[in-house]
Structure 1
Amino acid sequence: MQEKPFIIKKTYKDLGRIKRPKNLSEETKKEILEKLFQKNPEIFSSDKEIQKQIRERLDWIEGPNYILPKIGELKDFAERIKEEFLNIVWCGMGGSALFPLVLSQIFGPKEGYPNFYVLDTNDPENIAQIEKLPLEKTLFIIVSKSGTTIETLSQFKYFWGKLENLKSNPGENFVALTDPGSPLENLAKELNFRKIFHHPPFIGGRYAALTEIGFLPACFLGLDINKALYYAKNMYEVCLPDIPWGYNLSASLAEFLMERYIQGQDKLTFISDPILRPFTLWLEQLVAESLGKEYTGIVPIVGESPGSPTVYGTDRTFIYLTLKGRERIYQRLIMELREEGFPVKTISLEDRYEIFAEVYRWMLAVALCGYFMSLNPFDEPDVVLTKQKTKEFLEKFKKERDFGIEFYLDEETNWGFF
């Protein structure tokens, strides 16, 4: 008889390790923020090994200050590229591709700049669409923090093979963005890539939107970089530890999310102006991958068609993301939700560029939620496990032409397992 898989049925909240922000003194709250800005990992774990891992993921707390010295180089490179190439293809997965995708969908390329495509899949149809482009006039940006991402390297190998048949120096059509000393950097040097940019080694992928991961595509698209930096820097400054908790935009957002979580309203539902809707894709990964672990999580819900209050369960919390002057799009629905007692937080942006500010607000708020939930918001254990298992399956298939995977459906829960 086939053994049933183990199913977790109790929640993390049963463990009683949740810290409630409203029960903490202003002095304690300030101290938490100060330690985070000092990159002190002790607030997240007492385990020395985990502290070491967290310490190596905290440079994002510097916000736009990290990228400021590098902006000139990014701009100059983008200006040279637009004179030579018609298309740019950004190849990456997850956090390496989501914010570039957001920028391309919210802004699109400025007139006179190359077409910009994000390839975050190995689906044959998507690959075929890119293959239709004039490849000699296409620049491929190969992005992998570790330099070992299977999907991204597969994309590279495929298009390298195509370009190798078209020109004698295919490396001119490739740029690498990766950690210093990674296998991808070594490969890029060996094959004479046009350029190698370094991913900041102490910033994880989903916290990297204000690094080259965000600002290199912003330059390729011809965005107003000074305006983007202005909004990001303003948000950084109003989130510093000296700002009282109630006026600190990140801290107050974290307290709102935690209070709702403690009340069992852990389905964080984003209702967004259509112009800003792509940004919720990035928010989804940030929240889910940072806080969805150890049998708990705040569950982000994006892309759902808004309905009347009667269709929502009592576990919902709403974020209304809108642009000033366009609030009326969902104004009636928001009013009805509030009248029915649903918690709704409205975030109204001056213009599209303010998403650069929201990136910092949400990264800090999510990190604080991780502290209050007594978990590490900077690791991704199931992602790592999935990569390991995928590699094992592929190796097994190469040897035996069989993945060796069985499917099981649990009749009680109707959950499927591989």
Structure 2
Amino acid sequence: MEPDGLHVSLGNYSGVIADALAQARRDNVVQRIWSKDASLWKTDAAHQKIIRNSLGWLTVASEMSAVADDLIDFANKIRGPGGFKHVMLCGMGGSSLCPEVIRQTFEQQSGYPRLLVLDSTDPDVLSSFANQVDIDHCLFIIASKSGTTTEPLVFYKYWYNQVKQRRQNPGESFVAITDPGTRMVEMATEDNFRRIFLNRPDIGGRYSALSYFGMVPAALIGVDIRKLLSRAEGMMRSC
């Protein structure tokens, strides 16, 4: 099989897969995905409503490309000789998966902070993270789609109290990523967070890599998010 320049050797499965692809073309599967046709997956109305409200990831690359300059500008403002030396992403599940991949994939860029991803409430892990950073020069990203996930809220309270003991304006050391209208928006506003990034509510945590949940930490450590998003848009067009 060689669709669009992709060479695949399928062996004994070639015929079965060819039949499945032919059926998908007859059923207009690709077109129905892009039109967010929930009936492709489920027939009952309740499930279809959930599905329609979970497909924002399909076009998020283009939408994030439009705000890439803002993220890069923000990254430039928080770094430098007197800026933050570490960025600690505090989240669980889908909110921390992409940042962890970014941390492991991209080397630390010269002049940019180092990224740490905290996704455990184990006291020993927390102590280890505290020993790795200069709290006076660490930017904490509190990431939670719902804004009510227990672990990120615990991280937020712990680190906020630590920073509060050291500076008069502790909120300047914090950034929030969450959905619009969540409790986290209220708390971040009350505590004067440096920035609050409102993510599209129709993107689930495990589909949020190219949304603010992935692109904010990526930009802050110097990843070329323009190129990354451009490549993602190229994949969109090829589909």
TM-score (norm 1): 0.51
Give the letter for the 2:152 counterpart.
T
Cα distance change of structure 1 residues 24 and 233 upon mapping to structure 2, 3 Å threshold: closer
The one of 25, 29, 42 aligned to 1:45: 42
1:55 to 2:52 alignment? yes
Distance in 1 of aligned mates of 2:191 and 2:29: 47
- Which residue number corresponds to residue 67 of structure 1? 64
1:200 to 2:200 alignment? yes
Alignment check: 8 A CA contact 1:63 1:233 kept: no
Deviation at 1:23, TM superposition (A): 4.5
Query: What is the alpha-carbon root mean square deviation over aligned residues?
Result: 1.8
- Which residue number corresponds to residue 135 of structure 1? 135
Pair member with larger Rg: 1
- Which residue number corresponds to residue 152 of structure 1? 152
Deviation at 1:30, TM superposition (A): 5.8
Alignment check: 8 A CA contact 1:39 1:59 kept: no
Alignment check: 8 A CA contact 1:135 1:163 kept: yes
Deviation at 1:224, TM superposition (A): 2.0
Distance in 2 of aligned mates of 1:36 and 1:236: 12
- Which residue number corresponds to residue 358 of structure 1? none
Q: Which structure carries more helix by proportion?
A: 2
Distance in 2 of aligned mates of 1:106 and 1:96: 17
Give the letter for the 2:190 counterpart.
E
Count, aligned residues = 221
Distance in 2 of aligned mates of 1:76 and 1:199: 18
**Residue deviations 1:326-366 (CA, integer Å, cap 9, x gap):** xxxxxxxxxxxxxxxxxxxxxxxxxxxxxxxxxxxxxxxxx
Mapping of residues 8-407 of structure 1, within 5 Å: 22-23=19-20, 25=22, 28-29=25-26, 31-83=28-80, 84-132=83-131, 133-239=133-239
Alignment check: 8 A CA contact 1:88 1:114 kept: yes
Cα distance change of structure 1 residues 135 and 29 upon mapping to structure 2, 3 Å threshold: farther
Give the letter for the 1:62 counterpart.
T
Alignment check: 8 A CA contact 1:63 1:232 kept: no
Kindly indicate whether structure 1 or structure 2 has the higher relative contact order, using CA contacts under 8 Å at least 6 residues apart.
2
Alignment check: 8 A CA contact 2:148 2:184 kept: yes
Distance in 2 of aligned mates of 1:153 and 1:138: 18
Distance in 2 of aligned mates of 1:24 and 1:112: 48
**Residue deviations 1:18-61 (CA, integer Å, cap 9, x gap):** xx872564574561111110011111111111111111101111
Alignment check: 8 A CA contact 2:174 2:194 kept: yes
- Secondary structure class of the residue paired with 2:197: strand
- Structure 1 unaligned spans of 5+: 1-19, 240-418
TM-score (norm 2): 0.87
Q: Which segment drifts farther, 126-135 or 111-120?
A: 126-135
Cα distance change of structure 1 residues 62 and 131 upon mapping to structure 2, 3 Å threshold: same
Deviation at 1:227, TM superposition (A): 2.2
- Which residue number corresponds to residue 14 of structure 1? none
Distance in 2 of aligned mates of 1:201 and 1:40: 18
Distance in 1 of aligned mates of 2:193 and 2:229: 29
Deviation at 1:230, TM superposition (A): 2.8
Distance in 2 of aligned mates of 1:128 and 1:103: 23
- Structure 2 unaligned spans of 5+: 1-16
Distance in 1 of aligned mates of 2:61 and 2:77: 24
